[in-house]
Chains A and B, each alone.
Chain A
Amino acid sequence: MSGGEALTISDLRVTFDGFTAVDGVDLTVQNGDLRFLIGPNGAGKTTLVDAVTGLVKATGSVRFGDEELLGKPVQRIARMGIGRTFQTATVFEQLTVLQNLDIAAGAGRGMWTMLRRRKGVPEQVTRALEITGLSALAERPAGALAHGQKQWLEIGMLLVQDVRLLLLDEPVAGMSHEEREATGELLQRVSEDHTVVVIEHDMDFMRSFARSVSVLHAGRVLSEGTVTEVQADPRVQEVYLGRATEPESVTTPAPVPVGEEA
């Protein structure tokens, strides 16, 4: 995908009853990037994504291409080509994998198509089943999928939704090592023709797959750059470990909290 800015956030602020969750964030994501957003619990990562996708009110500016997103309703932003997942996989448990994907593909369908029965499988749904490796489970109710498979289904839903920017909130939380590797490879494939932003707590995962990293702390961007640059930043080390020494090498597992965000 060509360069240029996919997402330009400037001076973004989100306040809940006097508590400032996002406090003047400036952030630019290039087209085709695989950006990781990291930071301690309560840093404002999820709130940032909520603001971009229209779930919470915010001030400042969020531009997607040339268009301002703030003030637009959730479904309009989704139709512009921005998709997101949530910390807890939210798929339609009562529906099959295939139905989930078909619904995700259908926001632009006319009334006549909607009132008829689904016949066959749309091409992009077939492709998403392939990419996410869920083809064999297409007729399975989504509620019966394993945790990791639900996350993959969600990513598949974003693909058929025809989004250009994917915002993924802790996609590998609770996954086994193999599932993390598979998810990382999936994200790399997806980022070849999409822009991907990942909120993550898992530092190993981040090191293996991030193309660029932004560190958020207390509602602000603390540091930004490649994995190596960010790791070398003393401010980041301080925030994460409470000390200003070289925290770890790539080979030793980082003592980083993995957990849910408030």
Chain B
Amino acid sequence: MTTTTEPVKAVTPHNPPPTPLLERLRVPSAFALGAVLLLGIAPLALSDFRLALLAKYLCYAIVAVGVSLAWGRGGLLVLGQGVFFGLGGYAMAMHLKLADAADTGQKLPDFMQLYGTGDALPWWWEPFANPLFALAMTVVLPMAVAAILGFLVFRRRVKGAYFAILSQALAAALSIWLIGQQATTGGTNGLTDIQGFFGYSLDDPVNQRMVYFVIAAVLLLLMLLARQLFVSRYGELLVAVRDSEERVRFLGYNPANVKLVAYVVAAGMAGLAGALFVPAVGIISPALIGIVPSIGFVIGAAVGGRASLVGAVLGAIAVAWAQSTLSDAFPAGWTYFQGLLFVVAVGFLPGGLASLWTVARNRRKATTSSGSEVTA
């Protein structure tokens, strides 16, 4: 197409300089270090109680992986991940409640016997007795909801704060709806007192550790998946859409589809996190998926660095840890602290803690050149 009649200056193929070995080994070795820490050192060093807490934090970290993709790379402020976390969590909990009931020879889960209107299982509970169906639903359901929602929203070019508010409203709507369905969803209490996990008793500390290993492994795998998306051509395109959506449109892409993929993948990750949260903590309830937890899901990523995968994951773990520590000491103060943290991170350090080094370096550079730098 660009062959000119005039001879073009000798076309020398442009090849990027080969990356040095150390640079190439940086990511695999960081990943290996993370795997050793999570799968080797943590289980050895931590008590059962602490390990169970870490398992819970890692579930939040899984959500953060998706947030990092959708928000960090795609610029979609996903303030309603609680919806997808909840869908995954409830899908898993419904199956586990049915399995618990079947183990004790009962037809209905315990809460339905108390609050239920009849002695028949609601029709939409029935398929969840099948473990494979329930497992698939923990991911498929959130992704399907995200696909429908994203399709409607992104095509209409809803973005920025409007998108954030919309997703937040959805999180509120789902948790309010669940509260109203006492007879079939457990209402405010949620689905509680889960005993077993695919035949393994969750009272047994050995099985609790097994759950931890499953969660840690899923986190590591999803980080690999996200990393592949980050470095792929799709990842470059996603950043381009984040920075200049209109320009991408003029290159012949439909930005709505590009954003949709990130949104749906992030929803699937949140769903899986919710599903794993249930055996780790033994409960899923409207309070765990509403507005406050939905904001909580993005704060970790914001603090750690939403565009950096490792930053988002570490941030999510750190904020979850701070929450359980601080909310014990100041039960009423946490929500305010959470809000403050969010504002400070987004307002003053948009790259999160992961960007501190770069920010400091740029500042040093700026002071040494004493403002002689002119940027257009």
Contact = CB atoms under 8 A, between A and B. Distances in A.
B372 interface: no
Interface in A117-146: 117-118, 120-121, 124-131, 135, 138-139, 146
A95 interface: yes
Interface string A74-95: 1100110001101000111111
A162 B233 contact: no
A177 interface: no
A175 to B, nearest CB: 12
B250 A127 contact: no
Contacts of B14: 98, 121, 125-126, 129, 135, 138
29 contacts: A78-B251, A78-B252, A90-B246, A91-B247, A92-B244, A93-B243, A95-B239, A95-B240, A95-B243, A98-B14, A103-B240, A107-B251, A108-B252, A109-B233, A113-B233, A114-B233, A115-B234, A117-B228, A120-B15, A121-B13, A126-B14, A127-B11, A130-B9, A131-B8, A135-B12, A138-B16, A139-B16, A161-B252, A193-B3
A27 interface: no
A193 B5 CA distance: 9
Interface residues of A, number: 53
B362 interface: no
A106 to B, nearest CB: 6
Given A91-B244, A103-B237, 6 more contacts: A107-B253, A114-B232, A115-B233, A118-B233, A120-B15, A131-B2
Interface in B1-53: 1-6, 8-9, 11-16
Nearest to B234: A114
Contacts of A73: 254
A113 B15 CA distance: 19
A193 B1 contact: yes
A90 B244 CA distance: 8
Contacts of A74: 246, 249-250
Contact of B2 (A83, A116, A128, A139): A128
A189 B4 contact: yes
Contacts of A192: 4-6
B236 to A, nearest CB: 5
Contacts of B247: 86, 90-92
Contacts of A25: none
B250 A78 contact: yes
By size class, the interface of chain B is 35 or more
A92 B243 CA distance: 6
A70 interface: no
Contacts of B376: 146-147
Residue among A106, A124, A146 with max Cβ neighbours from chain B (10 Å): A106
B233 A78 contact: no
A146 B375 CA distance: 9
Contacts of A146: 376
Nearest to A86: B247
A195 interface: no
Interface in A131-189: 131, 135, 138-139, 146-147, 157, 159, 161-162, 189
B203 to A, nearest CB: 42
A131 B8 CA distance: 8
B8 A127 contact: yes
B11 A95 contact: no
A231 interface: no
Contact of A115 (B5, B229, B250): B229
Residue among B8, B239, B252, B376 with max Cβ neighbours from chain A (10 Å): B252
A159 B1 contact: yes
Contact of B236 (A75, A95, A138): A95
Interface in B205-263: 228-229, 231-234, 236-237, 239-240, 243-244, 246-254
B57 to A, nearest CB: 30
Contacts of A227: none
A156 to B, nearest CB: 9
Contact of A130 (B6, B8, B233, B253): B8
A162 B6 contact: no
Contacts of A138: 14, 16
Contacts of A56: none
A84 B247 CA distance: 9
Contact of A189 (B6, B229, B239, B251): B6
Nearest to B11: A130
B350 to A, nearest CB: 13
A205 to B, nearest CB: 20
A23 to B, nearest CB: 25
B2 A193 contact: yes
Contact of B254 (A75, A86, A98): A75
Nearest to B307: A94
A106 B11 CA distance: 21
A144 B246 CA distance: 21
